[in-house]
Amino acid sequence: MPAFLLYLVHTLFPPDTRQPTELGADFMILVTGIGIVYILTRYKKWRWLWREWLTTVDHKRIAILYLIAAIAMLFRGGVDALMLRTNLALPNVQPIGALEYNEVFTTHGTIMIFFMAMPFIFALFNAVIPLQIGSRDVAFPRLNAMSYWLFAFGAMLFNISFVVGGSPNAGWTGYPPLTELAFNPGPGESYYFLSLLIAGIGTTITGINFLVTIIRMRAPGMTLMRMPMFAWSTLVTSALIIFAFPPLTVALALSLLDRTFGSSFFTLGHGGMPMMYVNLFWLFGHPEVYIVILPAFGIFSEVVPTFSKKRLFGYTTMVISLVSIMFLAYGTWVHHFFTMGAGPTVNAFFGLSTMLIAIPTGVKIFNWIFTMWGGRIRITVAMLYQMAFIPTFVVGGATGIMLSVVPADYQLHNSYWVVAHFHNVLIGGTVFGLLSGLYYWWPKMFGFILNERQGKVGFWLFVIGFWVTFLPQYLLGLEGMTRRMYTYPFGFGWHELNVISTLGAFTMGAGFIALVYNILWSLRYGERDLTGDPWNGRTLEWALPSPAPEYNFARIPVVHGVDEFWAMKEQGMTLANQLRPQDVKALELPKNTGMPFMLGLSFFVGGFGMVFEWWPIAIFGGLGVVACLIYAAFDYDDKEPLPADVIRHTEGTFGRLQA
Partner 1 sequence: MSEHTSDGTELEAVEPGLEFLAPKFEVEGFPWAQVMGYVFSLLLTFAALLLVVDHAMPPILLLAVILALALGQAGLQLGVFMHLRESRGTAWQLLPLGLAFFIAFALVGTSIWIMLFKTGVS
Positions in the binding site for Cu ion (CB under 5 A):
286
Residue 275 vs 457, nearer CB to partner 1: 275
The alpha helices in 532-594, defined as continuous H runs, are 564-570
The nearer residue to ligand HEM, 142 or 335, going by C-beta atoms, is: 335
Rank residues 171 and 447 by Cβ distance to ligand HEM and give the closer one.
171
One symbol per residue from 523 to 562: x for binding partner 1 (CB under 8 A), - otherwise; what is it?
Answer: ---------------------------------x------
Sequence-distant (≥ 6) Cβ neighbours of residue 520 within 8 angstroms: none
Q: Among Cu ion, ligand HEM, partner 1, none, what does residue 437 contact (CB within 5–8 Å per kind)?
A: none
217 and 138 Cβ atoms separated by less than 8 Å = yes
Q: Would the CA dihedral through 515, 521, 522, 527 be positive or negative?
A: negative
Which residues lie across from 588 on neighbouring strands? Answer: 641
Q: Which does 354 bind (CB under 5 to 8 A by kind): ligand HEM, partner 1, Cu ion, none?
A: ligand HEM
Among partner 1, ligand HEM, Cu ion, none, residue 413 binds (CB under 5-8 Å by kind): ligand HEM
Q: Which of 588, 613, 640, 645 binds partner 1 (CB under 8 A)?
A: 588
Based on the shown chain and the rule CB under 8 A, indicate whether residue 136 belongs to the binding site for partner 1. yes
Residue 130 lies near partner 1 (rule: CB under 8 A)? no
Cβ-based neighbours of 657, under 8 Å, separated by 6 or more: 576, 579, 580, 581, 584, 648, 651
Report what 137 binds from partner 1, ligand HEM, Cu ion, none; CB cut-off 5-8 Å by kind: partner 1
Contacts 24+ apart (CB under 8 A), 261-265: none
H helix count then E strand count, the chain: 23, 2
State yes or no: residue 201 binds partner 1 (CB under 8 A).
no
> How far apart (Å, rounded) are the C-alpha atoms in residues 122 and 599?
19
- Answer yes or no whether residue 243 interacts with partner 1 by CB under 8 A: yes
Q: Which is nearer to partner 1, 21 or 173 (CB)?
A: 173
Shortest gap between Cβ of 99 and ligand HEM (angstroms)? 20
When binding is defined by CB under 8 A, the residue of 126, 167, 209, 279 that contacts partner 1 is 279
Compare residues 18 and 585 and give the one whose CB is closer to partner 1. 585
Residue 177: asked if its preceding bond is cis (omega within 30°), the reply is yes
CA dihedral 101, 104, 109, 110 (to 10 degrees): 130
DSSP state of 163: T
Q: Is 276 in the site for partner 1 (CB under 8 A)?
A: yes
Helix axis angle, 188-216 to 595-611, nearest 10°: 150
Kindly indicate which of the ranges 271-279, 377-385, 476-484, 490-498 contains the residues binding partner 1, using the contact rule CB under 8 A.
Answer: 271-279
Determine the Cα–Cα distance for residues 611 and 16; give it in Å rounded to an integer.
17
Identity of the residue, 247 or 397, whose beta carbon is nearer to ligand HEM in the bound complex? 397
Residue from 346, 363, 408, 478 touching partner 1 (CB under 8 A): that is 346
Nearest of 77, 110, 408, 136 to residue 248 by alpha carbon: 110
Min dist. Cβ of residue 466 to ligand HEM (A): 14
CA–CA gap between residue 546 and residue 60 (Å, rounded): 11
CB of 25 to ligand HEM, least distance (A): 25
Based on the shown chain and the rule CB under 8 A, indicate whether residue 253 belongs to the binding site for partner 1. no
Residue 489 sits in the site that holds partner 1 (CB under 8 A): no
Work out which of 363, 499, 589, 629 binds partner 1, going by CB under 8 A: 589
Q: Which residue's Cβ has the minimum distance to ligand HEM? A: 400
Span of 199-207, 327-335, 504-512, 513-521 interacting with partner 1 by CB under 8 A: 327-335
User: CA dist 655 to 565, 576, 580, Å?
Assistant: 18, 8, 12
Phi, psi of 262 (to 5 degrees): 70, 20
Element containing residue 281 per DSSP (H, E): helix 274-308
**Residues engaged in binding partner 1 (CB under 8 A):** 136-137, 243, 247, 273, 275-276, 279-280, 283, 330-331, 334, 340-343, 346, 556, 585, 587-590
